[in-house]
Structure 1
Amino acid sequence: MDGDHPASGNKRSFEGDENDISPASKKCCTCTKVCEEGVAAAMIASLTESLQSCKDELASCQRELESAKAETDKWNSAFKKESFVPASKSPEPAFVIDYIQTLRSSDKSLKEKLEIAQMKLAIRDLKSQLKPASMKTDEYPEVDSEHQGSTPAGPSLGEIPKDDEQEEPDIESLKTIIEDQFRMIQTQNSNFQTQSSHIETLNSQIQTQNSLFQRFDAFFDYLAAKDPHLAALRSTNLNPKNDQAGTGNDQAGKNDSNTV
């Protein structure tokens, strides 16, 4: 018992275990490994494609951002170069919009002034055409001498055709004056039509403004119904207008009585 007997039992080798596994089980393990490798490869390929698409989309977004920045810088530099932007201010959108609206209003006023000047010029030309013949005798001195009574001492038969020849230009001049007046009247009619169309446009704009004011009044009434402070403010703002309207009506009545 003191170690005379050697240790019983033999070590089991792994080679024997592998030999104990059946060929069918080996095939199943091999198929499972192949399937797992295929699934992993497909997943890696899908992730690679999605990553590439994300990279492409990011690159396109960066290009759009760069183009937008370049466009913004171009407009910013263009506005800074203009004289209407002060050196201490940046060209903010509100400032630029106000300037554009000012330009539009000035353009409209200049167009109206130009139309008025054209109408005045046309009226002046028409008045010059409608002057009597006595004020245009400088153009025909021969006719003027006839109207002043400068008759020859002894008219002969040979001078009679000359007098007839002198009367013909007067008739032709009257014809030309009438034709010029007719053309001028046509021009005036076209100008009046243009003015009427312009007046219609202004009336439509006024109607649009009135509709906007009515909507604003309705909205203000809606707010005043909820806030008594706004209602009091509206009443104080409306009373001076009514008083001014009453004084204006009284003054108009006085003027009417004076005219009568």
Structure 2
Amino acid sequence: MGAAVSSGGHPSHPEHNARFRRVAGGDHRAPPSRCRMCNLTVELGAPAYHCSEPKPDGCAVVLHEACYRRPKKMTHSAHPQHRLTLAGDALALAAGVSCSLCACPFGTPPVAYSCTRRRCAGGFRVHPRCCDLPKSISVPPELHDHGDLVLRPPTSSSGNGGEQRRRRCLSCSRVAGTISGQQAAAPWSYQCAKCVDIEYCLACLLGDDDAANMRCCCFQCCTVDPAAVQCLGNLAGVFFCAFLGGMGCPTAIPPTQPSPGGIGLTRNRN
């Protein structure tokens, strides 16, 4: 398969309005690099899109093929009232702004899906990978009796004199909103609707910001054998890749990324 050229630039790379050139597996000899959108490695030989800016030294910006094909606008259950727009403009993503779902900072340069409505300006912005988080997940009965956990914002109070609810993660046992014993802004989490103190935190599902430990909840880097799937991100990858069939998901099979403690989690289609 040869190279192809896109019809224009990409919103994740506003610095250049140049077209992106698709480079098929085996057509390029560049060493592995980081995808501008998801910040995960684009493996040597994997299909990808490269910026074709004709500067003397060229441009090193590269996107996974499936990252390039992500929709420019989308909706998410965490912000259903408005559509979210993909943007990579550092001016639109001010320094210090964190993801509205996982509460982690954006990369450099930042890329996010944002609500552009004036009344939401400065409000809802999420990592592309966090946009793939499902509404709910199922956990095995040995982990929690009630099974399904639903993606929800941190609970502000319990209704008992305004006392704040404290949820403990089923995996790491960290209490929501605390870091080393200190209070901190809490991210969303998967919570049990029947229990006021149970959740599964996004840090355990997504991993930390170290790319070596990051678990993927984006479909673009997850093409794996469903029988080997253990983590939520890989399962989401199988689902989306099967749905998109032939839409450009990379074919390289990454190592299986197990959930903490080898816990099996299931994505719910709702």
TM-score of the superposed pair, with normalisation by structure 2: 0.19
* Structure with the larger strand share: 2
Which protein shows a greater Rg? 1
TM-score of the superposed pair, with normalisation by structure 1: 0.20
Which structure is richer in relative contact order (CA contacts within 8 A, separation 6 or more)? Answer: 2
* Structure with the larger helix share: 1
